[in-house]
């Protein structure tokens, strides 16, 4: 098991601009995956007023071993939909003056539609703020329910992502409640039902995958119509989480970027600190 962080993964100190944005988000009553998941890029992103909103509450109904978001306990099945959440998010978007909005969620298998209606309502409210605003969603698999996915797509997002996270061999150990083939089917369905939407996905490296498995997953994503891909280093949030098996060297990430470009992705971000929503606007405009 890898232990000590290499120099290229050391985090920067929090400055006053990042602290000020964190305060405003807290006062707005919204959640961000940046804070809940302990993202290593939070300081740099917050300084630039870039956030990824987390909807459907702050507790996930699944127990992926890599994730730092709150896990199910006595709460499951969880509380119903928070009908005020879409407005809180849209109000925060307006207050911050954002032109590019990224929204993700916890997985809510306890809700009949998986939370799709909340996604859709949030998108619709943000669309009313100003013309030209771009909206990127990172969605769960909705347990494969086509009606849920369609309701989200009909709201009109510009980018819809769904993360593979890792290679299929590691799913039973790392993502026991998810299914690799189902995730591919979700991505394929997005492109089939909304060809104008940019499809996006992400892989974490350093979990014990082999290079050939990574490349095979990249090919699977291209076959599904995925246009934007991010690859980043997995970092275990704590000793209780799935352990880091390897710290991938920056040069290897560069190699994967080249492979992705040759496979035909319109944009590839492959770097140790890359995360699924990192530099989202830049990748969309690439």
The domain locations on the chain are 11-284
Beta bridge partners of 160: 137, 199
DSSP string, 11-25: PPPP-HHHHHHHHHH
Q: Are 203 and 166 in contact (CB under 8 A)?
A: yes
69 or 105: which leads in pLDDT: 105
Q: Give the tens place of pLDDT for each residue, 29-69.
A: 888 877 765 667 777 777 778 889 999 988 888 888 888 88
Q: Tally Cβ neighbours within 10 Å of residue 47.
A: 17
Edge-to-edge, what's the strand order for the sheet holding 52-55?
31-32, 52-55, 100-105, 134-138, 159-161, 198-205, 228-233, 267-270
Instruction: Give pTM, 2 decimals.
Output: 0.92
Residues in the chain: 286
The CATH superfamily assigned to 11-284 is Aldolase class I (3.20.20.70)
Q: Mean pLDDT check: name the lowest of 22-31, 144-153, 248-257, 264-273.
A: 22-31
Q: Which one, of 198, 193, 184, 104, lies nearest residue 151 by Cα?
A: 193
Token pair, residue 64, equals 């992926």
pLDDT band per the 50, 70, 90 thresholds, residue 1: very low
Q: How far is CA 68 from the centre of its chain?
A: 13
**What is the per-residue pLDDT across 140-152, written as a single tens digit (0 to 9) for each?**
999 999 999 999 9
Which candidate, 253, 246, 245, places its Cα nearest to that of 272? 253
Give the torsion sign (CA, 272, 277, 282, 283).
Answer: positive
Task: Identify the burial level of 182 via C-beta atoms within 10 angstroms of its C-beta, where 0-12 means exposed, 13-18 middle and 19 or more buried.
Answer: middle
């Amino acid at each position: 098991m890898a232990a000590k962080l290499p120099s290229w993964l050391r985090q920067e100190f929090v400055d006053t601009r990042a602290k000020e944005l964190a305060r405003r988000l807290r006062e707005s009553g919204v959640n961000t995956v940046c804070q809940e998941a302990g993202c290593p890029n939070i300081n740099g992103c917050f300084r630039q007023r870039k956030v990824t909103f987390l909807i459907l509450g702050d507790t996930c109904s699944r127990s992926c071993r890599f994730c730092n978001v709150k896990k199910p306990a006595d709460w499951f099945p969880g509380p119903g939909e928070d009908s005020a959440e879409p407005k809180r998010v849209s109000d925060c978007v307006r207050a911050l003056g954002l032109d590019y909005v990224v929204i993700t969620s916890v997985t809510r298998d306890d809700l009949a539609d998986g939370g799709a209606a909340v996604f859709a309502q949030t998108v619709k409210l943000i669309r009313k703020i100003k013309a030209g605003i771009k909206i990127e969603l990172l969605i769960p698999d909705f347990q494969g329910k086509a009606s849920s996915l369609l309701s989200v797509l009909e709201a009109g997002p510009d980018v819809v992502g769904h993360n593979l996270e890792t290679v299929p061999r590691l799913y039973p150990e790392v993502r026991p409640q998810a299914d690799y083939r189902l995730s591919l089917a979700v991505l394929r369905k997005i492109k089939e039902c909304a060809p104008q939407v940019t499809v996006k996905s992400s892989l974490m490296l350093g979990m014990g995958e082999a290079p050939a498995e990574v490349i095979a997953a990249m090919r699977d994503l291209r076959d599904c119509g995925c246009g934007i891909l991010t690859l980043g280093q997995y970092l275990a949030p704590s000793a209780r989480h799935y352990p880091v098996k390897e710290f991938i060297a920056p040069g290897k990430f560069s190699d994967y970027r080249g492979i992705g470009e040759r496979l035909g992705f319109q944009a590839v971000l492959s770097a140790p600190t890359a995360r699924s929503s990192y530099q989202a606007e830049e990748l969309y405009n690439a």
